Amino acid sequence: MATVFVSHPQSKLGHYFGDRAIAALRAIAEVRFNPGDTDLSSTELAALAADCEVIISYRQTVGDEALFAGLPRLLAFVRCAIDIRNIDVPAASRHGVLVTQASAGFIPSVSEWIIGVMVDLSRHISATTADYHAGRPVLPAMGRELRGATLGVIGYGQISRYLCDVALALGMRIVVHDPYTPTGRKELEQVELLPLLQRSDYVVCLAAATEATENLMNATTFAVMKPGAFFINASRGNLVDDDALIAALDAGTIAGCAVDVGRAPDQMPSPRVAAHPRVVASPHIGGLTPPAVEHQALETVAQVAELLQGRAPRGAVNAAQARRWQQATQAPQPA
């Protein structure tokens, strides 16, 4: 039976993998766990997983050249999420190690978080609650409705599609910016980025984090946002220049902001952004619901079962280059 190492810190295991997935994994493999409550360096991981065939990776677990070179028995590095930026895929391919990623199981969860913070910002819920908790006098503030407002969505992926359907049901107008993916829907107006920012009451950032989108929201882009608009980031902190965001909040260029991600460790919102009085910040919980977590964890277990039987699982990133996995698991082809 193969041995699988799960790299999640102990305090993260329940929330980000779960008992059902652990039980399912134990049914098909010997399972070892990160014994501590810290993220493992590649050196530490190599020592702990020296005789393991598969590593299931937490988001802070680095899969780099040194790790793959130091684990000659490793067949697969399995990411328990869709984001594989922690993995050097070319290095894995050079060493013949299979890399996989899970599909997005958090589409409804993240979309609901976005709707929730849009309502929160619009009705001053977090701000007035904080005043009440602190014993300060609270003056009723005029809110605004989502119905009839314009939602601007940057990036048209799976979450955006779901979010747009919910926003349409709430009576919102929607404009979308994505230079690579047409919406194909007449009820969604597709525009360039600057017109989207100029017209939207709520700007939601859902673009993928790439070199091209690094600091996509910066001093220039914040400056053209519609006065009184709100900015919401549910993608990655890499897309936002924190200095420019804080400056826009301080100047009143934008009315407020909600973030579930940032440039702090473990993809958390930056403390200085989160501390701003016009910011609603949450600790990267947009996708943290049981259905969302179980979707990815159980899919990861299914991938392990498939790859141990010599089949490239759905979510395989480099199956053609994974010669080490191929040689160990696939029967020789007849001459």
Length of the chain: 335
In this structure, the answer to whether residues 130 and 64 fall within a common structural domain is no
Q: What is the pLDDT of residues 178-194, one digit of tens each?
A: 999 999 999 999 999 99
Cβ neighbours for 52, distance < 8 A, ≥ 6 positions apart: 3, 4, 5, 32, 71, 73, 74
Q: What is the pLDDT of residues 70-100, one digit of tens each?
A: 999 999 999 999 889 899 999 999 999 999 9
Distance CA 183, CA 193 (A): 15
Confidence of residue 335 (pLDDT cuts 50, 70, 90): very low
Burial class (CB in 10 A: 0-12, 13-18, 19+), 116: middle
For position 297, what pLDDT does the model report? 96
In this structure, the answer to whether residues 223 and 100 fall within a common structural domain is no
Question: In the predicted model, what is the mean pLDDT of residues 277-300?
Answer: 95
In this structure, the answer to whether residues 149 and 87 fall within a common structural domain is no
pTM above 0.85, yes or no: yes
In this structure, the answer to whether residues 148 and 245 fall within a common structural domain is yes
Strands 230-233 and 202-205: parallel
The HSE-up count of residue 186 (CA atoms within 13 Å, CB side) is: 0
Q: How many domains does the chain have?
A: 2
Range of the domain at 39: 3-105+290-329
Assigned domain for 334 exists: no
Report the candidate in 90, 36, 35 with the shortest Cα–Cα distance to residue 68: 90
In this structure, the answer to whether residues 152 and 215 fall within a common structural domain is yes
